[in-house]
Amino acid sequence: MPTIRIYLLLIAIATSLQAVKQPNILFIVSDDHGWGDLPSNWDNTEVRLPTLEDLATQGVRFSNYHTVPLCGPSRACMFTGQFSTENGMWRGPGKAPLGSPGYRGIKRDVIMLSEHLSRAGYHTGCFGKWHMGSLEGEVPNDRGFDEFHGFLAGAHSYWITPKRSKIMHNRKPDSTSEGHATELFTGWAEQFIRESASKDEPFFCYLAYNAVHGPLRTDKSKPASAPETWLKKATSRGVDFLRSDYVAILEHMDHNIGKLVSVLKELDISENTLIVFVSDNGGCTMEEDAPGGRFPGNNGPFSGGKGTTYQGGLKVPFLMNWKGRLPQGIISDDQVMHCDIYATLLDAAGISVPKMNGKNPVRGTSLMPHMLSSGKKVVPDRSMIFELWGNIGLRKGDYKLWADVGRDHSPDWPALAAKLKDTNLSLFDLSKDVAETKDLRTQRPEVYASLKAELIDHITSINAEYPGGGISKGLQKEKAKPQGNLNPAPKHRSQEQFFRNRDRNGDGNVTLEEYIGNPKGRNVPALTKRFKKLDSNGDGKLLLDELKK
């Protein structure tokens, strides 16, 4: 009798836990997509994005989101919860090996968002642009992703053929895929979502489009990057030639996002799927020598663009949608940033947000309380710091400190701090001067002195050590042995990490209790079913080889 009561109690607990199971996460990133080219942000755009507008209208749109103005660093901040000065990706990833001077890559003791989610039982997939490292230990399959189908570098042609492709499938070159990048990435993500849903396991789908990164046609002698059908849609309503390829690429992307939203509805998982959409950095501009190339991006009323720490490089579209969970039609003007995505997605998945990541603090804060309260719980006041090649920005409240001290110092942080001490920076009041044209340094000396001291303190307090022997350029004394590029042999790094994490007593086996971990917020019945499927000999314990199947 007691056994029956215990059994019934376990069923009741499992049923209640299933009702609050971990959400699926669809995390979509556009590329070089300026703040002004999300219509609900800025009326003065000819871009039409009905899917994103619907997601914003039925969810939460953040009009005051900030990022780092370059592809690799911005993604690293979203995946680590730290400033780019701290997580190791102070610029885009490089080819210098770990331990050598100037190594650029996310530090190996920093746990990425994808690794946290994988360890928590998520099925993880990355599709499209990675741009967070291509060396051994840096690729998606090394960083918590079960599945990767995309490219590792910062840019790729939109039209993919077997002879014109740098597409990878997991660790191997993909020499068969053919078509438009936006459609291929969407198709791979859809397949991953369908497979995950069929297994009744939570998924983390990271879909990183290269839309609307160059190459784009701005010269009539060049081929277009957008499909002809979408070019005709744009030009038929009066979009001029210069913007036509750009507009068509964005609208084609929006259409493909709409396909995935329809898949979620078809599979009846919309109410348990958190959708996040964000751009990595501000849009390119047509100014001479514009960073990222001369392309007709729209950054709204803000100065600058990609590659600059003016607001045009930092402010980009950002929205979240979770049907039935997040309130609808909320527009938040609270100051939020890239690091908050890391904290928010961990919180949504029921994972505690750590205070440290590696040897530097986690800077992000979860936006869930803010969103669930319809904005009544405000995002805490904090300083946001942005650095790229000595192009510095610090925003606190309405005030922003800005300077460009050149590329000679990053990432030799002590040298950069010394340079800042001897430099007159600019001070802007963004509540009155969004274009950053009026320097208030001499008119607000107390604000200027306080923010400058805070910026220098941040720069001097960075722990610049890289596990594996590397430290920042200018501080390195010994070179480590160079590492090779991709190892083509498949590995099972994420399963091994998960196994070690779950094998609490270190006996080389994982029991059902260890496999499930903390049952709060977990889909216990689905995990139990998966455990039994993996337990091929039915002994109630998993070996690593069984987990890898």
Write down the mean pLDDT value for the chain: 89
End residue of a domain, out of 315, 343, 372: 372
Task: Give the integer Cα–Cα distance in Å for 536 and 440.
Answer: 70
pLDDT digits (tens, 9 = 90+) for 224-268: 999 999 999 999 999 999 999 999 999 999 999 999 999 999 999
Give the rounded percent of residues in the chain with a pLDDT score beyond 90: 77
* pLDDT at 10 (0 to 100): 47
User: Looking at the predicted structure, is the pLDDT value of residue 493 above 50?
Assistant: no
In a domain, 11, yes or no: no
Which of 294, 133, 313 has its CA nearest to residue 215?
A: 294
Residue 71 · residue 278 · CB < 8 Å? no
User: Looking at the predicted structure, is the pLDDT value of residue 388 above 50?
Assistant: yes
Domain that holds residue 542: 492-548
Task: Give the integer Cα–Cα distance in Å for 317 and 429.
Answer: 22
Same domain, 53 and 142: yes
Higher pLDDT, 129 or 546: 129
In a domain, 7, yes or no: no
Residues, the chain, total?
549
Same domain, 362 and 392: no
* pLDDT at 7 (0 to 100): 46
Q: How far is CA 374 from CA 252, 332, 334, 397, in A?
A: 31, 9, 12, 21
Same domain, 367 and 440: no
Task: Give the integer Cα–Cα distance in Å for 215 and 177.
Answer: 20
Higher pLDDT, 9 or 296: 296
| Helix or strand (DSSP H, E) at 195 | helix 181-198
Return the structure tokens found at 100.
């050598």
* pLDDT at 548 (0 to 100): 67
Q: What is the CATH number of the domain that holds 543?
A: 1.10.238.10
Helices (H), 225-294: 228-236, 241-266
| Helix or strand (DSSP H, E) at 482 | none
| Helix or strand (DSSP H, E) at 86 | helix 84-87
* pLDDT at 539 (0 to 100): 79
* pLDDT at 473 (0 to 100): 42
- Is beta strand 330-332 parallel, antiparallel or unpaired with respect to 60-62? parallel
Q: What is the CATH number of the domain that holds 239?
A: 3.40.720.10
Cβ density class 270-297: b for 16+ within 10 Å, e for less: bebbbbbbbbbbbbbbeeeebbbbbbbb
Q: What share of the chain is helix, strand, coil (3-state, %, to 5)?
A: 35, 15, 50
Q: Which single residue is written with the structure tokens 């800025």?
A: 42
Same domain, 80 and 183: yes
Looking at the DSSP bridge assignments, the partners of residue 403 are 392
Helices (H), 267-350: 311-314, 339-348
Q: Which single residue is written with the structure tokens 């599979």?
A: 267
Which of 209, 180, 239, 160 has its CA nearest to residue 52?
A: 209
Same domain, 69 and 109: yes
User: Looking at the predicted structure, is the pLDDT value of residue 486 above 80?
Assistant: no
pLDDT digits (tens, 9 = 90+) for 59-95: 999 999 999 999 999 999 999 999 999 999 999 999 9
In a domain, 14, yes or no: no
CA 101 to chain CA mean position, Å: 27
- Which pTM does this prediction carry? 0.84
In a domain, 5, yes or no: no
In a domain, 425, yes or no: yes
End residue of a domain, out of 332, 350, 372: 372
* pLDDT at 390 (0 to 100): 92
User: Looking at the predicted structure, is the pLDDT value of residue 431 above 70?
Assistant: yes
In a domain, 225, yes or no: yes
Which of 419, 408, 507 has its CA nearest to residue 455?
A: 419
Q: How far is CA 454 from CA 401, 433, 445, in A?
A: 10, 22, 14
pLDDT digits (tens, 9 = 90+) for 343-379: 999 999 999 999 999 999 999 999 999 999 999 999 9
Span 510-538, average pLDDT: 71
* pLDDT at 522 (0 to 100): 56
Task: Give the integer Cα–Cα distance in Å for 68 and 78.
Answer: 10
Domain count, the chain: 3
Q: How far is CA 78 from CA 20, 71, 218, 338, 533, in A?
A: 25, 11, 31, 5, 34
| Helix or strand (DSSP H, E) at 387 | strand 384-388
- The verdict on whether omega for the bond into residue 379 sits within 30 degrees of 0, i.e. cis, is no
Phi, psi of 422 (to 5 degrees): -100, 10
In a domain, 477, yes or no: no
End residue of a domain, out of 343, 372, 401: 372
* pLDDT at 289 (0 to 100): 85
Task: Give the integer Cα–Cα distance in Å for 83 and 515.
Answer: 33
Which of 503, 441, 529, 38 has its CA nearest to residue 251?
A: 38
User: Looking at the predicted structure, is the pLDDT value of residue 310 above 80?
Assistant: yes
In a domain, 40, yes or no: yes
Same domain, 411 and 322: no
Same domain, 344 and 419: no
Same domain, 200 and 255: yes
pLDDT confidence of 506, banded at 50, 70, 90?
low
Residue 118 · residue 148 · CB < 8 Å? no
Same domain, 228 and 272: yes
Helices (H), 301-444: 311-314, 339-348, 368-372, 413-421
Q: What is the CATH number of the domain that holds 462?
A: 3.30.1120.10
- DSSP 3-state of 55: helix
Which of 132, 114, 111 has its CA nearest to residue 123?
A: 114
Same domain, 316 and 404: no
Same domain, 95 and 184: yes
Same domain, 367 and 395: no
